[in-house]
Structure 1
Amino acid sequence: PRPASEIAACAQRLLAPLIACYGTDFTLDIESCWSQIGSGSLPVDRLPSWALTFTPKDGRGSTLEALTARWRTLTKPVIGRVADGRLWLDLRCLEDEAALLRELAS
Structure 2
Amino acid sequence: MLAAHDLPDLTPTAELIAAELLTNAHLHTRGPYAFRLLSPSPGRVRVAVWDTDPRVPPAFTTDKPPAAPDAEHGRGLHLVRACADATGVSVLRELGASRGGKLLWAECGVPGR
Of Structure 1 and Structure 2, which has the larger fraction of its residues in helix? 1
**Bin for the TM-score computed over the shorter chain:** 0.3 to 0.5
